[in-house]
Every structure is written in C-alpha cells, then in structure tokens.
Structure 1
Amino acid sequence: MNMLKGKVALITGGGQGVGQGIAYALADEGATVAVAGRTRVTLEQTCAEIRRRGGTALAVECDVMSQADIDRCVAQVIEAFGGLNILVNNAQIVPLGSILEVSDEAFMQGIDSGPMATLRLMRACYPYLKGDGAVINLASSAAVRWDASGYGHYAATKEAIRALSRGAACEWGVVGIRVNVIAPHALSPGLRGWVENNPQEAQAFFSSIPLRRVGDCETDIGRTVAFLVSDNARYLTGATIPLDGGQAYWG
C-alpha cells in the first residue's frame, strides 16, 4: 500500500469518473494527490474522500483549454507540495457524432481539450518530472472499433494523444520521464447513465467484452495506473495499454 509513497501526482478531471478513481488509487498507494478540473465542488468531494482514507489531497480549479490556467495549476501544485512526479491527463470534451454532424467548433473543442491540453500540460510539468517522472495519458479504443460510425472525431483526438505520447516517450526517456497511454472502459457516471437508459444495447455491449463487464474506475483502472507510474513498471514507456476487458483488438 506504499508503492507511491513520497510521490506527488497531478490528475486532471479528478472530480468524478476515471479521474476520481485514479486519484483514489494513487492516494491509497501513498501518493500526495492534486486533482484539477473546472468544478470545485466535485474536486473537493474527491479530496474529502482521500483525506477520510488518511491521504493528502489538493483541489485546483483549472480549465485545461487555458494555458494560463495550466501554468497557474502547476505552479500551485509545486508551491503546495514542493515537486511533481506523476501527471495523469484525463480531462477532455468528447466530440461524438457522425462526420456530417459534428461541427468544426465541437471538433476543435475536442482537439483543444484533448491533444492540445495534453501537450500543454506535459510541457508545463516537464521541468519537475525530470529524473523519475511518469505520465499517463488517456486514449480510447474508438479508433479500433469494428464500427467507427459516430466516433471518427473522438477517435481522431485520441489518436493524436497517442502519437504525442509516443513522441514524448522517445524524446524524454533520456531524462528519466516515462510516458504511457491507457485506453479504458470504465463505469463512469456518463456510461452508467447510458447503461440505465439503454439496457438492451448495454447488454449487447457487455457481451462483446471477453470479461463480460465494464471496469471499475478505481479498482480496475486506478490500481493499474498506480502500478504503471510506480517503480514496478520502470522499464515500460511509449506503450498503449488497453484496459477494456479484452474487447478491442489493437493488433
């Protein structure tokens, strides 16, 4: 339970869902955690639960589409905790819809909150991550779906994140920074709502997953991330790890 003792982690989108699950798991392994996002009340709820479990946490309001917000967020974490070892880029606006439906504005929001925000945060955190840093960026199996209808724009943003992550892994390994990507299926609030409103589609979806379930945000996704950013995975970088119960075939 002390795999990350002495480490400081910054997690975007940490107020709910996957980001929250990762924050809980990293804190349970001993990391000091900063959760960033646009909604303070949900961030404070995450921090309150971490403190209830005996951990240390900080809520930082941050719009990842703003460079000024990102710079302020990173500076606040450094001031509060004296360093930074782990960055998890989780927050993103999701542009879903057909090729003819999704507007340029909606697509650009996906780009700005996805690959651009990921790039900006990696650059802002780079000086502090050197030596023993670990970055986890979030992708999606949308790009390898058997039917990509309605997912083209979203998949494009996530594939850009994968490409940037691979580039960073190759360039930054020499200064001791590892960069990996996860592509999770997780029972976030959004997916839970979809399951409740579309039970038949959900059942078909579950049947397409070899493990027959969607992952839990903390125990399935968060704990794996805790391993990936720990010294136990110190020789792993530049990889995409599908946390989807075996559904997608990345080939």
Structure 2
Amino acid sequence: MSELTGKVALITGAGQGVGQGIALALAERGVKIAVTGRTLSKLEKTCELIAARGGEALPLVCDVKAADALAHCVAQVVERFGGIQILVNNAQEVCLGSLEQLSDETLEAGWQSGPMATFRLMKLCYPHLKGDGCIVNLASSAAKRWDMAGYGGYAAVKEAIRSLSRAAACEWGQEGIRTNVILPHAESPGLAWWMKKNPEEAQAFLDGIPQRRVGQCEQDIGRFVVQLCSDGSRYVNGQSIGLDGGQALLG
C-alpha cells in the first residue's frame, strides 16, 4: 500500500495531456482523483482509464476562469471524498503572439485561467490542505527562452504563478502545506500542435534539450509529481523545478 493511498487530489485540466498524466500517476498510488476540465467526454475518458487500474475518480466540468465554478467544484470534491490533500493547478489558456498582435482579450484569458485560477483555488482549498497538504502549480520555462519574441504574454502569466506559489510556500509552510512549481516539457496535445505548426522552431527546441526528447506525461511528469507529494519530499517547499530534460537554467 502506498503512503498516498486514500488521499484526495483535485487536478485542473486533467482531461488530457499533462493533467491526465498526473492524474493517472497519482491514481496508480491509491489517490482518489477529482478530474476537472471543460469537456465532459475528455474527463470521463480519464476517469475510465483510472477505473481500469482499480482507482477512483470523479469527473467535474469546471471553467477555471469563473470564480463561482471553482467554489462549486471544491465543494463537490469535499462532499464526495471528504477533503482535499493535493491540489494541482494545471489548466491554462495559452496566450501566444507578439506584443503588438496580442489582444487584451487573449491576455486576459491567459491571466484568468492561469494566475487568477491558481490564486482562487489555493485559497479555496487552503482550509482542507492544512496539516499535510501539497500544492503543485504548473509554470513554464518560457521566461527563460533565448528569444522571448512571441512569448511575452504566456511567460508573464506563468511567472505570476511562480510568484504566487512562492508566497503560499512562505505563508502556509508552518501550517503543514507545501507549495511547489513544476515547469514541464511534455508530449501534450498543445505541444504537439505547436511543433506541427512551427517545425523549424520545434527542431531547434528539441536540439536545445540535452536529453533530445520531450517528456512523457505520465512517466516523466506524473511520476515526479507523485514523488513531490510523497513523504520523501516533505522538506521541499517553495521551489520551481524544471522537468525539461535539462533545457532551462533556472536562476
């Protein structure tokens, strides 16, 4: 039996990609999973995969940009499972484009789905996380790119998540809540779309990864999150950790 058996995780954007990989990896260790996202069919697919491994999952349609929807989601999770010990803020609308081209609406969507959703969910889950809670927020190494052209908006919202996470780690650490950030490269539908649309840049991107490959959602990202939520990482708090095969130099 895993030390995580019986714990409850709320994971946003878990219908596919990295969120799904994290959900599957945690479920493999006995964690009950609240699978949230915008598309019910995708959420149900993740739940089916978890059930096939003997796990328990609850699909919850939720627009992370809506404060009321987030509050309702947390209430449903607590009602079904009795609490929340792990929060993974993964959902994010990507706001790419040059500063001149980037619209207010696109940047606002990135802000609301990223930093604001992360901020709101951390506060909503805070009472339930006290004692042995673990928050894992997702950011990006976009702000560490050699060329920031076209990535300013996306990098800005992801850096805001890092700042909020550091504050949570400092403010809530004494209450038994650990907050960390991962910056992953993974074989998600979003990355696959980007690589297909930008083949030359994608090749340069791959060439810049010392391991010369993109990570796998469950095996490389999900399993690391399992470690981060386990007792072996109980003194890891307030850190930003690159899961990118060694590409970014975080300073």
Aligned residue in 1 for 2:53? 53
Tell me the TM-score normalised to structure 1 length.
0.97
Give 1:232 shift. Answer: 1.3
1:61-210 paired onto structure 2 within 5 Å: 61-210=61-210
Q: Which moved more, 1:31-40 or 1:195-204?
A: 195-204
Aligned residue in 1 for 2:14? 14
In 2: Cα distance, 1:128 partner to 1:10 partner: 11
Change (3 A) 1:200 1:98: closer
Aligned residue in 2 for 1:211? 211
3-state DSSP of counterpart to 2:242? strand
Aligned length: 251
Aligned residue in 1 for 2:44? 44
3-state DSSP of counterpart to 1:36? strand
Give 1:6 shift. Answer: 1.7
Can you give the 5+ residue segments of structure 1 that lack an aligned partner in the other structure? none
**Counterpart amino acid of residue 157 in structure 1:** V
Q: Which moved more, 1:185-194 or 1:44-53?
A: 185-194
Give 1:198 shift. Answer: 4.5
In 2: Cα distance, 1:127 partner to 1:143 partner: 32
In 1: Cα distance, 2:173 partner to 2:237 partner: 8
Is 2:28 the partner of 1:28?
yes
Kindly report the root-mean-square deviation, in angstroms, between the aligned alpha carbons of the 2 structures.
Answer: 1.1
Change (3 A) 1:104 1:200: closer
In 2: Cα distance, 1:198 partner to 1:72 partner: 39
Name the % identity: 64
In 1: Cα distance, 2:170 partner to 2:197 partner: 43
3-state DSSP of counterpart to 1:135? strand
**Counterpart amino acid of residue 150 in structure 1:** G
3-state DSSP of counterpart to 1:10? strand
In 2: Cα distance, 1:33 partner to 1:107 partner: 30
CA displacement 1:99-143 (0-9 Å, x = unmatched)? 111011111111111100000000000000000000000100000
